[in-house]
Structure 1
Amino acid sequence: MHSDTDLISFADRLADAAADVVLRHFRDAMDVDNKLSEGFDPVTIADRGAEQVMRALIESTYPDHGIVGEEFGSVRADAEHVWVLDPIDGTRSFITGVPLWGTLIGLTRNGSPLAGMMAQPYIGERFAGDGKRAWYSGPKGKRDLKTRACSALSDAVVFTTTPALFSPVERVCYDRIEEQARLARYGTDCYGYCMVAAGQADLVIEAGLQSYDIVALAPIIEGAGGAVTTWTGGSIMDGGRIIASGDKRLHDIVLRDLSRCPAG
Structure 2
Amino acid sequence: MPDFFAFACELSVAARRETLRDLSTTLGLENKNPGGPFDPVSNADRGAERAMRELIVEAFPDHGILGEEFDDRAGTSVYQWSLDPIDGTRSFISGLPTWTTLIALMENGHPIMGVIDAPYLDELYVGCLDSSWKEVAGARTSLRVSNVRELGEARLATTDPFLFDGDAAAAFKTLYGSVPITRFGHDAYAYARLASGTIDLVVECGLKPHDYHALIPVVRGATGVFGDWSGGTDFSAGQVIAAATRELYEAAVEIMRAAASSVPPPKDGD
TM-score range with shorter-chain normalisation?
over 0.9
8 A Cα contact 1:236 1:242, kept in partner:
no
- Residue 23 (structure 2) aligns with: 26
Q: Take 2:8 and 2:148, find their aligned partners in 1: how far apart are those partners?
A: 31
SS in structure 1 of the partner of residue 194 of structure 2: helix
Deviations 1:137-184 (A, max 9, x none): 126942000001011100000000001221221111111111000100
Matching of residues 95-174 of structure 1 within 5 Å: 95-138=93-136, 141-174=139-172
Deviation of residue 237 (structure 1)?
A: 5.4
1:164 alignment partner AA: F
Deviations 1:200-251 (A, max 9, x none): 0100000000000010011000000101111112325546110000112111
> How many corresponding residue pairs?
261
TM-score by length of 2: 0.92
Q: Which runs of 5+ in 1 are unaligned?
A: none
Deviation of residue 79 (structure 1)?
A: 4.3
Q: Which runs of 5+ in 2 are unaligned?
A: 264-270
Q: CA RMSD in A?
A: 1.6
- Residue 37 (structure 1) aligns with: 34
SS in structure 2 of the partner of residue 142 of structure 1: strand
Q: Take 2:237 and 2:19, find their aligned partners in 1: how far apart are those partners?
A: 25
Q: Take 2:186 and 2:124, find their aligned partners in 1: how far apart are those partners?
A: 16
- Residue 222 (structure 1) aligns with: 220
1:33 alignment partner AA: E
Point out 4+ residue stretches in structure 1 off by more than 6 angstroms. Answer: none
8 A Cα contact 1:202 1:246, kept in partner:
yes
TM-score by length of 1: 0.94
Q: Take 2:25 and 2:224, find their aligned partners in 1: how far apart are those partners?
A: 37
8 A Cα contact 2:224 2:243, kept in partner:
yes
SS in structure 1 of the partner of residue 72 of structure 2: strand
1:140–1:111: structure 2 CA closer, same or farther, 3 Å change rule? closer
1:233 alignment partner AA: G
1:42–1:130: structure 2 CA closer, same or farther, 3 Å change rule? same
- Residue 13 (structure 2) aligns with: 16
1:29–1:69: structure 2 CA closer, same or farther, 3 Å change rule? closer
| Percent pairwise identity | 37
The range that moved more, 139-148 or 196-205, is: 139-148
Deviation of residue 30 (structure 1)?
A: 2.4
1:260–1:27: structure 2 CA closer, same or farther, 3 Å change rule? closer
SS in structure 2 of the partner of residue 180 of structure 1: coil
SS in structure 1 of the partner of residue 205 of structure 2: strand
